[in-house]
Amino acid sequence: MAPSAAPSASPSATADPFVKCMRDKGQTVPADREIGDAGDRSPAWQAAYRACQRFMPGGPDRRVSGPSPEDIAKLRAFAVCMRAHKIEMTDPLPDGNMKIHGRFEHANRAQLEADPVYKAATAACRDRLPVDPKEKG
């Protein structure tokens, strides 16, 4: 489904301490905070999120909450498998993100997907990843 047009900023959106904190740190955050699925997961975004997380009302049921402990365990198994296939990858952070180091550290998505070593590792390890609920039949 294509994203709808962004709503205009309202006075309540700019009064939201979490949104204000994220924006003060240079990050774009929709007023409705629907950032769990499409949020930028760059190091700068992650740092801003960690710094601003204390302003999030509603606790762990918010869409921006991290993966479950079960999913973190699956991501860790994926990272171990990738390392066994010559891809230098960290274990997952609490937000589920992992970093790739070594010769792939600065590769973009297209470069990764075109590399035969990375493709083979991903194919061998894919079954260890958590299943996205949207992908379940």
Residues spanned by the domain of 90: 69-130
pLDDT tens by residue, 109-128: 889 889 999 999 999 999 99
pTM, whole model, 2 decimals? 0.52
Considering the domain boundaries, does residue 5 fall inside one?
no
Considering the domain boundaries, does residue 6 fall inside one?
no
**Quick one: pLDDT at residue 3?**
41
Q: To the nearest whole percent, how much of the chain has pLDDT over 70?
A: 69
Contact in structure between 132 and 82 (CB atoms under 8 Å) = no
Considering the domain boundaries, does residue 77 fall inside one?
yes
**Quick one: pLDDT at residue 15?**
59
60 falls in which pLDDT band (50, 70, 90)? very low
Q: How far apart are the first and last CA of the chain?
A: 17
19 falls in which pLDDT band (50, 70, 90)? confident
Q: Which residues pair with 89 in a beta bridge?
A: 100
Same domain for 84 and 117? yes
Helix ranges (DSSP H) in the chain: 11-15, 17-24, 43-52, 69-84, 109-114, 116-125
pLDDT tens by residue, 78-101: 999 999 999 999 998 887 888 899
Structure tokens at 99: 């970093």
Is the pLDDT assigned to residue 69 strictly greater than 80?
yes
Considering the domain boundaries, does residue 28 fall inside one?
yes
How far is CA 100 from each of CA 56, 96, 122, rounded to the nearest angstrom? 29, 13, 13
The residue whose two tokens read 């869409």 is: 63
Choose the final residue of a domain: 43, 61, 79: 61
**Quick one: pLDDT at residue 7?**
37
Same domain for 54 and 73? no
Total structural domains in the chain? Answer: 2
Considering the domain boundaries, does residue 135 fall inside one?
no
Smallest CA-to-CA distance from 50 within 63, 37, 66 is with 66
Same domain for 94 and 116? yes
| Mean of all residue pLDDT scores within the chain | 74
Considering the domain boundaries, does residue 3 fall inside one?
no
